[in-house]
A and B are shown apart, each in its own frame.
Chain A
Amino acid sequence: MHGRLKVRTSAEEAARKKKEQDLKAKAYRNGMDKIFTLRNAENFDNNLLELSGKILSVNPDITTLWNIRRECIIKMTTDNPDSASTLFDRDLNFTELCLQVQPKSYGAWHHRSWILENSPKPDWNREVSLCTLYLKKDERNFHCWDYRRYVARKANLSAESEFKFCDEKIQKNFSNYSSWFYRSQLLPVLHPHPSDSSRPISEEKLKEELEIVITAAFTDPNDSSAWFYQRWLLGYSDPKLDLACFKLTQSQAVIAFTKLVDLSKDKITISTNTSLDKGIWRSLSGNKSDSIWIQKGEFEISDDILIKMNHNDKTFELEARKIDNNSIIGIKLPSFGYEFGAAVKEELKNQLDSCNQLLEFEPDSKWTLLTAALLMRSIDRFQYHEKTLEYVRKLQKVDSLRAGYYMDLASKWILEEKLKNMVESGKFDKIDLSSLDLSVVYYNQFLFIGNEINLQNNSKLNKKSCKFALVDGCKVTF
């Protein structure tokens, strides 16, 4: 069904082929009938193994035939325990045969692991070698990669030795997403960040990795494999869970989180040492998960409030201050990405220089533009704000397939800058977000803090993304 070219044939050729196929179909039918007859009679013997083998070696996706082989092996080894090792070995060889025909057969891979799990003396190291061999033939076969990770664990191979294998693969061919992927799984085990669990690897290792990956990426800038790895190293800006914002008025309390949470399930407790602790938080949207949660009631506006959130034995705090007789508000600016140390930043600056040099020769190079923008954000997202926007606007043109993504990315970065300025100024009453070419409003969980929000003149804005407008007391103009 995959990758089969449609070819034009003469009438005779077609007729000949039809005849050949009719014979094959008949042979298959007969074979299957025999197999099911034997199975129903519980004749689990060599004959049944042979018959099922004939069909499986041509079509290894017929799960039921693998099941029948397992039934045979179980029955035959129960009747004659001495035959076990011969039978297991024979089926190991048989699956190898099938995998040569069809290296992506779920059935054949699974049968292999079933044999090993059930055999008295499985040789897991042999399996690792087999994977090494198969990955030479096709270095992207994910069935084989996944099987390798499974047998490597069974063989108790260290992360170091797997890293060595993976590194050799990358050195041989940079263009291999599967190896870079494995690398991103192994490094956090080998070089964890000593203090920050949200960071995958230590700063020292990060610096080394950045050097390696940029060389690889520049070797063939149009191959995406290394660029994905680079982006992983720089970190994605999906926020970690924290308290975001709080607003209490006489009739309503609103609490917001940096990401969607399900307060009924996610084992999050909120304490404020006020009457709010007895009330029930309801999600703004009515959905099970939301970033904004509301309590209605009659509340007294008296003192500042310290809000504490407990999640997985970690405590997060947010200070909310009484700003007038009508409201108590608190806001905590999120981190918009990792804050790297000086040594890493130095390396990032070098890489930015290299990217910019490359852009002089190839101004439309998509991956270089994107990486340069991400590097600038990692070095100092606000100092480079205008420049990063310029690059992303350019990406909308040179990588037009993903124009929608870049529009949203620009909108996100614009809002981050606005939020930062808002928090620094301490003025939350009126928020002006007009004429910014926004396509979507990120950071809803901070915006309800304002009384008047101006979103006029953003012609491409998806209004559905402005959920905060549903919060009572929040006046939004589009």
Chain B
Amino acid sequence: MDFIDEDFIDHNKNNKNNHKKMEVDQNEELPTKFDMEMTIKYVANHGNDKNDFEYTMTEFLRMSGIYWGTTCLDIMGHLDKLDKKSIIEFIKNCQCKKSGGIAACDSHDPHILYSLSAVQILCIYDALDEIDIPALGKYVQSLQQIDGSFFGDKWGEVDTRFSFCAVAILALTNQMNLIDVDKAVEFVMSCVNPDGGFGSKPYAESHAGLIYCCVGFLSITHNLHRLETEKLAWWLCERQLKSGGLNGRPEKLPDVCYSWWVLSSLTIMGKAHWIDGAKLKEFIISCLDTETGGFSDRPGNMPDIFHTLFGIGALSLLGYENLKKINPTFCMPEEIVSKIYQAQILEY
């Protein structure tokens, strides 16, 4: 789950000023219908031009980029638009011979974030045996610390995102016995805050993205009973704003990717009905780029593949027509996950 934070807002104010002389068409009407065809093309063509600036500058998260692309194409029923063979070849090249971990792309260092993305892609392609799974398991095992937490790689950053990645990788590859699950749970529970939410580590501020990681973690390890669901789910349903969109923390702007982090967490806790699904649907669709396909973070912004997946993922959770069902814990097609692992979901 590689996610970059919500609000580059302040920093981007400067950007907007740079663009002052350029014209922004404010009167353009926001889309109200999701034309899937164009978005399928948008995702499928992403990365066709290997020298493209954006594409080049995001190579450090390429593996996650491919996961976002394959997952949303599969949810839209068009996985065939990508070349399975070359993707699997790419993943094989990214597994580190020494550590067993997987890197975002060739020459870069292995990291647990990209290891999970790789495993997710391989599950979608039913091709887990293409990489060295025991070596990957050992890699994940080597990152667990005495307090139960996980490093992201050997350089020692600790984050609840990595706890999620660890158990997700091990669940999908059937190697959960490699780590001390009880200790891992205790660490995640030590990150609960007075407001019911979770941050990246103990004492860190609650944030919807990290709440998803922790709720997802507890769902995978079947420990949802450790949550104070009423308190947490109320905090999460308060993320919905008048526009119908969701933000990641109180008094922040809405953003399509939070549609996923918030709605999936609520779904896992059986409280998806605590927000207005129809209004959320409207907001997500208003972020569709009708010229190119793909979703942006907010109406009128540039689309990208990250927001395209999380927009479509949330639409799938909302039962949008013609989309495959998505699994709220793993953010992968339900039909794939259900064959591999049963995570815990509360019904109400």
Chain A residues within CB distance 8 Å of chain B: 1-9, 13, 21-22, 24-25, 28-29, 32, 36, 59, 61-64, 66-67, 70, 101-104, 106, 110, 114, 117, 137-138, 140, 142-143, 145-146, 149-150, 175, 177-178, 181-182, 184-185, 188, 200, 223-225, 228, 232, 236-238, 259-262, 265, 287-289, 400-405, 408, 440, 462, 464-465
Contact (Cβ within 8 A) A142 B57: no
Q: How far is the CA of A405 from the CA of B271 in the complex (A)?
A: 8
Contact (Cβ within 8 A) B250 A224: yes
When distances are taken between beta carbons in the complex, the residues of chain A under 8 Å from B204 are 142, 145-146, 149
Contact (Cβ within 8 A) A29 B56: yes
Q: How far is the CA of A379 from the CA of B152 in the complex (A)?
A: 48
A2, A185, A237: most-surrounded residue (chain B CB, <10 A)? A2
Hey, what's the 0/1 contact readout for B248-281 against A, CB within 8 Å counting as 1?
A: 0111100100000000000000010111100100
Hey, what's the 0/1 contact readout for B147-184 against A, CB within 8 Å counting as 1?
A: 00000010111010000000000000000000000100
Contact (Cβ within 8 A) A67 B109: yes
> Given that A63-B109, A238-B228 are contacting pairs, would A22 and B301 also be in contact in the complex, using a CB cutoff of 8 Å?
no
> Given that A3-B297, A238-B228, A261-B225 are contacting pairs, would A177 and B53 also be in contact in the complex, using a CB cutoff of 8 Å?
no
Contact (Cβ within 8 A) A22 B53: yes
Q: How far is the CA of A254 from the CA of B298 in the complex (A)?
A: 52
B194, chain A: closest CB distance, angstroms = 4
Q: How far is the CA of A8 from the CA of B23 in the complex (A)?
A: 6
For residue B31, CB closer than 8 A to chain A, the reply is no
Contact (Cβ within 8 A) B24 A404: no
> Given that A2-B12, A149-B204 are contacting pairs, would A184 and B194 also be in contact in the complex, using a CB cutoff of 8 Å?
yes
Q: How far is the CA of A465 from the CA of B346 in the complex (A)?
A: 10
When distances are taken between beta carbons in the complex, the residues of chain B under 8 Å from A404 are 237, 273-276
Contact (Cβ within 8 A) B53 A464: no
When distances are taken between beta carbons in the complex, the residues of chain B under 8 Å from A102 are 8, 11
Contact (Cβ within 8 A) B231 A146: no
> Given that A2-B8, A24-B53 are contacting pairs, would A177 and B155 also be in contact in the complex, using a CB cutoff of 8 Å?
no
When distances are taken between beta carbons in the complex, the residues of chain B under 8 Å from A7 are 19, 22-24
Q: How far is the CA of A1 from the CA of B271 in the complex (A)?
A: 30
Contact (Cβ within 8 A) B51 A22: yes
When distances are taken between beta carbons in the complex, the residues of chain B under 8 Å from A117 are 156
Q: Which of A6, A29, A61 contacts B302 (CB 8 A)?
A: A6
Contact (Cβ within 8 A) A3 B12: yes
Can you spell out 5 A-B residue pairs with CB atoms less than 8 angstroms apart? A32-B107, A200-B194, A225-B251, A228-B195, A401-B244
For residue B289, CB closer than 8 A to chain A, the reply is yes
* Dominant SS among interface residues on chain A: helix
Hey, what's the 0/1 contact readout for B1-42 against A, CB within 8 Å counting as 1?
A: 000111111111001100100111100000000000000000
When distances are taken between beta carbons in the complex, the residues of chain A under 8 Å from B10 are 103, 137-138
Q: Which of B111, B231, B240, B306 contacts A1 (CB 8 A)?
A: B306
Hey, what's the 0/1 contact readout for B211-238 against A, CB within 8 Å counting as 1?
A: 0000000000011110011110111011
B311, chain A: closest CB distance, angstroms = 13
Contact (Cβ within 8 A) B230 A237: yes
Q: How far is the CA of A261 from the CA of B223 in the complex (A)?
A: 9
Contact (Cβ within 8 A) B8 A3: yes
B247, chain A: closest CB distance, angstroms = 11
For residue B141, CB closer than 8 A to chain A, the reply is no
A439, chain B: closest CB distance, angstroms = 8
Contact (Cβ within 8 A) A63 B251: no
When distances are taken between beta carbons in the complex, the residues of chain B under 8 Å from A3 are 7-9, 11-12, 15, 297-298, 301
> Given that A2-B6, A22-B53, A223-B251 are contacting pairs, would A402 and B307 also be in contact in the complex, using a CB cutoff of 8 Å?
no
> Given that A1-B306, A228-B250 are contacting pairs, would A142 and B207 also be in contact in the complex, using a CB cutoff of 8 Å?
yes
For residue B334, CB closer than 8 A to chain A, the reply is no
Q: How far is the CA of A103 from the CA of B10 in the complex (A)?
A: 10
Leading 4 A-B pairs by shortest Cβ distance: A260-B225, A289-B225, A21-B53, A404-B273
When distances are taken between beta carbons in the complex, the residues of chain B under 8 Å from A402 are 237-238, 240, 274-276
For residue B199, CB closer than 8 A to chain A, the reply is yes
Contact (Cβ within 8 A) A25 B19: no
Chain B residues within CB distance 8 Å of chain A: 4-12, 15-16, 19, 22-25, 51-53, 56-57, 60-61, 103, 107-109, 111, 153, 155-157, 159, 182, 193-196, 199-201, 203-207, 222-225, 228-231, 233-235, 237-238, 240, 242, 244, 249-252, 255, 271, 273-276, 279, 289, 296-298, 300-304, 306-307, 344, 347-348
Q: How far is the CA of A464 from the CA of B347 in the complex (A)?
A: 7
> Given that A2-B12, A145-B205 are contacting pairs, would A61 and B19 also be in contact in the complex, using a CB cutoff of 8 Å?
no
When distances are taken between beta carbons in the complex, the residues of chain A under 8 Å from B56 are 25, 28-29
Contact (Cβ within 8 A) B205 A142: yes
Known interface pairs A3-B9, A142-B207; 16 further A-B residue pairs with C-beta atoms within 8 A, sorted by A's residue number = A2-B255, A2-B297, A4-B296, A6-B289, A8-B22, A9-B22, A32-B107, A36-B107, A67-B153, A110-B156, A177-B249, A181-B193, A181-B206, A401-B275, A402-B240, A402-B274
When distances are taken between beta carbons in the complex, the residues of chain A under 8 Å from B275 are 401-402, 404
> Given that A238-B231, A287-B344 are contacting pairs, would A401 and B240 also be in contact in the complex, using a CB cutoff of 8 Å?
yes
Q: How far is the CA of A195 from the CA of B270 in the complex (A)?
A: 35
A352, chain B: closest CB distance, angstroms = 21
> Given that A6-B300, A21-B53 are contacting pairs, would A236 and B230 also be in contact in the complex, using a CB cutoff of 8 Å?
yes
Contact (Cβ within 8 A) B199 A146: yes
Contact (Cβ within 8 A) B274 A408: yes
Q: How far is the CA of A288 from the CA of B222 in the complex (A)?
A: 7
A177, chain B: closest CB distance, angstroms = 4
Contact (Cβ within 8 A) B348 A25: no
B181, chain A: closest CB distance, angstroms = 10
Report the nearest B residue to A400, measured CB to CB.
Answer: B276
Contact (Cβ within 8 A) A1 B225: no
Q: How far is the CA of A225 from the CA of B224 in the complex (A)?
A: 27
Contact (Cβ within 8 A) B53 A25: yes
Q: How far is the CA of A394 from the CA of B11 in the complex (A)?
A: 40
Q: Which of B22, B109, B203, B279 contacts A146 (CB 8 A)?
A: B203
Contact (Cβ within 8 A) B249 A140: yes
Contact (Cβ within 8 A) B201 A146: yes
Contact (Cβ within 8 A) A142 B199: yes
> Given that A4-B302, A177-B249, A232-B195 are contacting pairs, would A104 and B347 also be in contact in the complex, using a CB cutoff of 8 Å?
no
When distances are taken between beta carbons in the complex, the residues of chain A under 8 Å from B200 are 146
Q: Which of A13, A106, A137, A224 contacts B238 (CB 8 A)?
A: A224
A411, chain B: closest CB distance, angstroms = 11
Q: Which of B4, B8, B103, B195 contacts A181 (CB 8 A)?
A: B195
Q: Which of B22, B157, B199, B252 contacts A110 (CB 8 A)?
A: B157
Q: How far is the CA of A393 from the CA of B118 in the complex (A)?
A: 48
Contact (Cβ within 8 A) B302 A103: no
> Given that A64-B109, A181-B206, A465-B347 are contacting pairs, would A236 and B196 also be in contact in the complex, using a CB cutoff of 8 Å?
yes
Q: How far is the CA of A182 from the CA of B203 in the complex (A)?
A: 9
Q: How far is the CA of A138 from the CA of B9 in the complex (A)?
A: 11
Contact (Cβ within 8 A) A401 B276: yes
When distances are taken between beta carbons in the complex, the residues of chain B under 8 Å from A64 are 60, 103, 107-109
When distances are taken between beta carbons in the complex, the residues of chain B under 8 Å from A8 are 22-25
Report the nearest B residue to A223, measured CB to CB.
Answer: B251
When distances are taken between beta carbons in the complex, the residues of chain A under 8 Å from B229 are 238
> Given that A22-B51, A67-B109, A232-B194 are contacting pairs, would A59 and B306 also be in contact in the complex, using a CB cutoff of 8 Å?
no
When distances are taken between beta carbons in the complex, the residues of chain A under 8 Å from B6 are 2
Report the nearest A residue to B303, measured CB to CB.
Answer: A6
